[in-house]
Chains A and B, each alone.
Chain A
Amino acid sequence: MADALVLAEGLTKVYGTLEQTRALDDVSFEIGRGEIAAVIGRSGSGKSTLLNLLGLLDTATEGRLVLDGRATDGASSRDRASLRNELLGFVFQFHHLLPEFTVWENLLMPTAIAGKTVDAALRELAEETMVVLGLEGLGGKNANDLSGGQKQRVAIGRALMNRPPLVLADEPTGNLDTENTDAVYRLFRRINADWGTTFLIVTHDQEIASMTDRILEIRDGKLVADVRNPVGAPSVAAVAAGLTTSRSSSAARS
């Protein structure tokens, strides 16, 4: 796949010098444009580490990473920052909103960093995103005064606002109830359909995982499974073999 959006070759991350942890060990894969993929794995398996590398927040000890055709190895801190702003939407495991700013300002922070002015189109997009995320009427509220789930939803909205080609989401629905989880997932799907945005979602939620196009499983830092869901009919059974962690019981489902 020459036109892969993400091309990872032998990505390896070793933490520490004396006591070394191989958090990620020789991971290679490609993700095409417009895919929605899930990353699953036990706690501590290296999912966040992988996402941080893909998100240019951390640098790999070994390996090569090409994003949108651009080699990222050896890029300066400035170039990495502008690539982050331009290419990537990030939903962090901890929501990471700016407490000094309102919900609306947090939502639009990536566009402000990109130097965009809030024109009619952007305003409409932001307002619509707020509605879809169930945040109507909260725009003027201080980000600190929201519930955990509301903060999580603002963080999701923020990741989409710059219309990045790639959205990396680390447990985006970890704090949400079923109803909101479904709404977020439907939003991802719609944005994927409308803009061709690629999603890589770390999740413990088997249901979410099963609704994606593809599931990557990490175990002890290694990529141990890469399963494609049958197009149009994602089924739990098809990926059950690859699932080692799940919140709900797969037995109850089948």
Chain B
Amino acid sequence: MLPLKIAARFLRTSPVQSGLIIAGIAVGIAVQVFVGSLITSLQASLIERTIGSSPHVSLRALKDGDPVTFSSAVARVVRGDSRVTAVVPERDISALFSKGTDKVPLSITGGDLADLNTIYRLRQRTVEGEPSLRPGEIMVGVDFARKYGVKRGDPANLVLGGNDVRTLTVSGIFDLGSAAANERTAFTGPELPRQALGYRPDQYSLVAVQVADPFTSTAVATAWRARLSGIKVTDWQVDNKDLLAALNSQSASSYMIQVFVLVAVALGIASTLAISAVQKTRQIGILKALGMADGSTAAIFLWQASILGVAGTALGVGLGLALIAGFTFGTASSPSAFPIVAQPVFVGISAAVGMLVALLSSIIPTRKTARLDPIEVIQNG
């Protein structure tokens, strides 16, 4: 324990130097924690926005506009896959909403509320009225409702093509989190679009599927393609190639930044510890002359590095979390805000790397110390 005590004393008697090293490690680790969590959260938020409320895998007819038949055989393949979390057979139609002189195009998705809810989370996104899609009911988005003065319980006149005009009742108003979706999209039950499209009960525009891990969608789609003939299976990763490429290069550049920050931190600690070792040469020589073993004097610098590493890392993690909290608070009111969630894995990795870097940078002074011959110091005063 004497080496620890001496290490602590050496650090305490040069508070500015110790403080600077700790601050250096702390800033490095804080940047790690913050940038790491920021990038991860940003990507999670982008992916959530892109596919959170849309299918990961879609089954369609081979020819555009044809219905896909969701037979029991197809259903067995899809529902029997353990990776699947939601299966939503949908019928999509276009309609014109007419009110006074306004004629507004609406894209209407028809299906069972329970099914639709698994992907679109209509229940939790209903901001006015009830989430309900009984026959004759329709749900519309908040931006649409505001723009055209539609309230719950209001009648909605829809031209479904030709002279097929229906009047539905607005049961609820939802907010999907995107202005475009809130203005263009509407939901209704499965029957009305079936009649309008002239489909059989097992025919749908598409079967939307979500899987537990969105990044397995390509594997899932490939497996199904082999088993489902006459059906076009698409997955979101193919449709969003550009986004994924962008996310990947973003990850790569963020790793680069983090590696450079770590290298800078390591160099900083290493050089300061090396200077400290040179400054303490006399003391080390005296301790050796008094009979302290080489290993114990080397341990002094290992302890110094450990103390600096622990203090700097702890401070850095705290600072990083504070930055995350500050950022989240500072951008809370902005519409494009996304939550930065501190990534425990990232915090753990950063802390471990901080400690490792501190210990690695003590190698040079430690070895130098072990080799020092006390006579060099004793003779030279």
A interface, CB within 8 angstroms of B: 48, 52, 55, 57-58, 77-78, 81-86, 88, 90, 92-94, 96-101, 109-110, 112-115, 158
Q: Which residues of A contact B5 (CB under 8 A)?
A: 112
Instruction: Please tell me if B288 contacts chain A, counting CB pairs below 8 Å.
Output: yes
Shortest C-beta distance, A44 to chain B (Å), equals 13
Contact, CB under 8 Å: B291 / A114: yes
What are 20 A-B contacts with C-beta separation under 8 Å? A81-B288, A81-B291, A82-B291, A82-B293, A84-B289, A84-B291, A85-B291, A86-B291, A92-B378, A93-B381, A94-B378, A96-B289, A98-B286, A99-B283, A100-B9, A100-B10, A100-B13, A101-B9, A110-B290, A113-B2
In the assembled complex, the Cα of A58 lies from the Cα of B374 at a distance in Å of 8
A57 and B292 in contact, given A52-B378, A101-B9, A113-B2 (Cβ under 8 angstroms): no
Instruction: Please tell me if B325 contacts chain A, counting CB pairs below 8 Å.
Output: no
A57 and B291 in contact, given A98-B286, A100-B283, A101-B9 (Cβ under 8 angstroms): no
Give the size of the chain B interface in residues (CB under 8 angstroms): 26
Contact, CB under 8 Å: B292 / A113: yes
Interface-centre pick from B286, B375, B381 (highest chain A CB count, 10 A): B286
Q: Which residues of B contact A101 (CB under 8 A)?
A: 9
Shortest C-beta distance, A27 to chain B (Å), equals 18
Find the B residue at minimum CB distance from A57: B375
Shortest C-beta distance, B277 to chain A (Å), equals 14
Contact, CB under 8 Å: A84 / B381: no
Q: Which residues of A contact B293 (CB under 8 A)?
A: 78, 81-82
Shortest C-beta distance, B349 to chain A (Å), equals 35
Contact, CB under 8 Å: B289 / A98: no
Find the A residue at minimum CB distance from B285: A96
Interface-centre pick from A92, A100, A114 (highest chain B CB count, 10 A): A100
B interface, CB within 8 angstroms of A: 2, 5-6, 9-10, 12-13, 282-283, 286-296, 374-375, 377-379, 381
Q: Which residues of A contact B375 (CB under 8 A)?
A: 52, 57-58
In the assembled complex, the Cα of A158 lies from the Cα of B290 at a distance in Å of 9
Interface-centre pick from B12, B378, B381 (highest chain A CB count, 10 A): B378
Find the A residue at minimum CB distance from B377: A96
Contact, CB under 8 Å: B290 / A57: no
Interface-centre pick from B5, B9, B13, B289 (highest chain A CB count, 10 A): B289
Q: Which residues of A contact B12 (CB under 8 A)?
A: 100
Find the B residue at minimum CB distance from A82: B291
Shortest C-beta distance, A190 to chain B (Å), equals 23
Contact, CB under 8 Å: B379 / A52: yes
Find the B residue at minimum CB distance from A102: B9
Shortest C-beta distance, B282 to chain A (Å), equals 8
In the assembled complex, the Cα of A92 lies from the Cα of B13 at a distance in Å of 24
Interface-centre pick from A57, A85, A110 (highest chain B CB count, 10 A): A57
Q: Which residues of B contact A109 (CB under 8 A)?
A: 287, 290
Leading 6 A-B pairs by shortest Cβ distance? A85-B291, A94-B381, A84-B291, A100-B13, A58-B375, A57-B375
Find the A residue at minimum CB distance from B280: A100
* Contact with B292, one of A85, A88, A94 (Cβ below 8 angstroms): A85
* Contact with B374, one of A57, A94, A99, A115 (Cβ below 8 angstroms): A57
Q: Which residues of A contact B288 (CB under 8 A)?
A: 81
Contact, CB under 8 Å: B294 / A81: yes
In the assembled complex, the Cα of A99 lies from the Cα of B291 at a distance in Å of 18
Q: Which residues of B contact A58 (CB under 8 A)?
A: 375
Q: Given known contacts A81-B292, A90-B290, what 11 new A-B pairs fall within 8 Å (CB)?
A: A48-B379, A58-B375, A78-B295, A81-B294, A85-B291, A96-B286, A100-B13, A112-B2, A112-B5, A113-B2, A158-B290
Q: Which residues of A contact B6 (CB under 8 A)?
A: 100
Find the B residue at minimum CB distance from A89: B290
A98 and B291 in contact, given A52-B375, A58-B375, A113-B2 (Cβ under 8 angstroms): no
In the assembled complex, the Cα of A101 lies from the Cα of B379 at a distance in Å of 22
* Contact with A98, one of B287, B374, B379 (Cβ below 8 angstroms): B287
Shortest C-beta distance, A245 to chain B (Å), equals 21
Q: Which residues of B contact A112 (CB under 8 A)?
A: 2, 5
Shortest C-beta distance, B351 to chain A (Å), equals 29
Shortest C-beta distance, B6 to chain A (Å), equals 8
In the assembled complex, the Cα of A82 lies from the Cα of B291 at a distance in Å of 5
Shortest C-beta distance, A45 to chain B (Å), equals 15
